[in-house]
Chains A and B, each alone.
Chain A
Amino acid sequence: MTEPLPNRRDVVARLLRDRGRMLVVPGLGGTTWDVAAAGDSELDFYLWGGMGSAAMIGLGLALAQSERPVLVVTGDGEQLMGLGALATIGVEGPANLSVVVIDNEHYGETGMQPTHTGRGVDLAAIAAGAGFAETATITDLAGVDALRPRLHAGEGPLFATVKVDMTPAPMVLPSRDGPWIKQRFRRALLDNDAV
């Protein structure tokens, strides 16, 4: 008998444990609520829009802050909208960037319509083909625990897709004020250089 898939909130909470200096970009929708539920941080840049752009925001941030680990944690639907970004990240090869897809194989914010990842599309294989240094598909919490230190290893770019169950998680909403989220992040990161 196969083990049940883990709950998304457990997965994200474990990924963010002892996050230290890590900068986090959660993608539009469920993963923004997951990261907020794990405990708000000034160094979270929550997305409430711009579907498909989370990985590229992570790339620009990783190139600008090459001494810090950068984690993009996003959904399967969000990443499917920005597949080209995986190719661009593969070419640029930032060692400090990780992209982790919380993959429930459905569009959770719009009525749980199936995404391509439940119909044969393998995001980790696409990332491997794009040139990511390390890729994985994870289906249990032991795998998540093994992944966590890899996010800090600086040997990326790393891509992992974590298959999670479809149990709805309670809404945990961070601030929806984009300019405030942006400026809070910059002040925390850049100190007096943040204009």
Chain B
Amino acid sequence: MAASDAIDTRQDDWPAHIHRTFIDHGMRQIAYVPDSGHKELITLCRADNRLRAVSLTTEEEGIGLLSGAWLGGQSGALLMQSSGVGNCVNAIASITRACQFPLLMLITMRGEWAEGNPWQVPMGRAVEPVLEALGVQLARVERSEDVADAVSAMASLAFKSTVPAAVILSQRLIGAKSFQD
């Protein structure tokens, strides 16, 4: 599917491009634990009746949900903040990897570029090594103009090659939290 053909040129509106990519790839279930970096994308997914947007109590639930969706013939994505990666570890190993399920994760980063909360830094640093250890394919995005291609490429990789894949949306791309009114 040539998903990128349909992307317009307003590259700063990257959440809209991700949403469009979900539709172009025929995804149906979008699971999420809210993060401010995903706020606009969550709103777009919830407003689109072609997608079932499922709010989770913890990110680990999304691994089970999307595995069940795949068993039933649907694909989808899991949206989370970097700290959520730590909550998914055993499920990725023991379900996704053990059964060779596809998985597409979109991870908004904390704990790096201009981070103001030191409690975010250790898990942020651990995200990529942990995902590497789990055998998850990674694409890290620093610039808004690269988001749509990265999500489309990782969706193709996940669902056509049946592997787990993650797009790491850097804190530089999203912007650091200000901790001000």
Contacts of A51 in B (CB 8 A): 90, 94
Interface membership of chain A positions 93-133, coded 1 if the CB is closer than 8 angstroms to chain B and 0 otherwise: 00000000000000000000000000000000000000000
Whether B28 sits at the interface, judged by CB under 8 Å, is yes
Contacts of A14 in B (CB 8 A): none
Beta-carbon contact of A50 and B90 below 8 Å? yes
A179 and B94 CA atoms in complex are apart in Å by: 12
Q: Is the interface of B mostly helix, strand, loop or mixed?
A: helix
Beta-carbon contact of A55 and B64 below 8 Å? yes
Contacts of B64 in A (CB 8 A): 50, 53-57, 59-60, 82, 85
- Residues from 66 to 125 in B contacting A, C-beta threshold 8 Å: 66-74, 90-91, 94-95, 98-101
The A/B interface has a contact count, at CB < 8 Å, of: 119
Contacts of B60 in A (CB 8 A): 52-53
Contacts of A38 in B (CB 8 A): none
Whether B45 sits at the interface, judged by CB under 8 Å, is no
Whether A91 sits at the interface, judged by CB under 8 Å, is yes
Contact partner of B54 (CB less than 8 A), chosen from A25, A53, A88, A189, is A88
Beta-carbon contact of B73 and A193 below 8 Å? yes
Q: Output the least CB separation between B27 and chain A (Å).
A: 12
Beta-carbon contact of A49 and B98 below 8 Å? yes
A64 and B72 CA atoms in complex are apart in Å by: 5
| Chain B contact residue count (CB 8 A cutoff) | 32
Q: Output the least CB separation between B117 and chain A (Å).
A: 24
A34 and B162 CA atoms in complex are apart in Å by: 30
Which of B54, B57, B68, B91 counts the most A-chain CB atoms under 10 A from its CB? B68
- Which residue of A is nearest B73, CB measured? A190
Interface membership of chain A positions 162-195, coded 1 if the CB is closer than 8 angstroms to chain B and 0 otherwise: 0000000000000000110110011001100111
By a beta-carbon cutoff of 8 Å, the part of chain B in contact with chain A is 28-29, 52, 54-58, 60-74, 90-91, 94-95, 98-101, 162
